[in-house]
Amino acid sequence: MTDYVATRWYRAPEILLGAVKYGHEVDMWGLGCILGEILMGKPIFPGSSTINQLETIMMLTGTPGAELQKNISSFAPSMIQSVTQVGVLSTKYEGGQVFQDCSDQTQARWRSKFPQATEEALDLLYQLLHIDPAKRISAHAALKHPYVATFHDEAVERVATKDVDIPIADTDKKSTAVYRERLYHEVSKAKRPPPERPGLSSQRLNEAAS
């Protein structure tokens, strides 16, 4: 899988650290960046390069320990050694699952970054922005978080019953024209009316439906 995915300011740290395998956690990270932007009124991780992006992230989340670095990517230790911004490496990622599990120092750092956020907003944001992807909250769990309880409606929240079938594999690189043509084909197919049942006219189908 490519390491050039998502706009840099919303790119998950495991991708920045060179992970060759990643999952839905990268989407939850991006969602956390958007929530933080809403709370703060501007992008929360406006990095100017890959290394600066990591520095900007770790100033808030803390720096992952040696074992977590190796779990994320074999490139992570050397990349984090390239970090030069003062104070980043001394700020450690604690790994508490929820915001309330964090030390007073970490909580103060997050509250200072998002002074307008409620405790519930901070907790959801913290769980979305774990530097450890294994601890990042899932979409299913996030929908049940107290911060979004007002908008939670299981009647309209559907869960896919099978994996999404991608018509063209990500690993098969083709020209823009091929992707454009395939997209047009898929949209046309979705808009096509269902075929009539043999022996029944459109008028009789309408009558049967009414």
pLDDT tens track for 146-182: 999 999 888 888 888 888 777 777 677 788 898 899 8
Q: List C-alpha distances in Å: 72 to 20, 59, 66, 132, 193.
A: 9, 18, 10, 8, 47
Q: How confident is the model at residue 209 (pLDDT cuts 50, 70, 90)?
A: low
Q: List C-alpha distances in Å: 95 to 55, 114, 126, 172, 174.
A: 18, 20, 10, 37, 41
CATH number for 8-150: choose from 3.10.310.40, 2.30.22.10, 1.10.510.10, 3.40.640.10: 1.10.510.10
pLDDT one-digit tens code per residue, 113-146 = 999 999 999 999 999 999 999 999 999 999 999 9
Q: Residue 84: what pLDDT?
A: 73
Helical packing angle, 50-61 and 104-113, nearest 10°: 120
pLDDT one-digit tens code per residue, 40-67 = 999 999 999 999 999 999 999 999 999 9
Question: Please, what is the average pLDDT of the chain?
Answer: 88
Whether residue 9 contacts residue 47, with contact meaning beta carbons closer than 8 Å, is answered with yes
pLDDT one-digit tens code per residue, 73-109 = 999 999 998 887 777 888 999 999 999 999 999 999 9
* Six-digit token string for 36: 């933080």
Is the pLDDT assigned to residue 202 strictly greater than 60?
no
Domain-by-domain residue ranges, the chain? 8-150, 176-209
Q: How confident is the model at residue 207 (pLDDT cuts 50, 70, 90)?
A: low
Q: Residue 4: what pLDDT?
A: 63
Please compute the mean of the pLDDT values over residues 188-202 and round it to a whole number: 70
| Amino acid at the residue 197 | R
Q: Residue 85: what pLDDT?
A: 76
Q: How confident is the model at residue 3 (pLDDT cuts 50, 70, 90)?
A: low
Is the pLDDT assigned to residue 18 strictly greater than 70?
yes
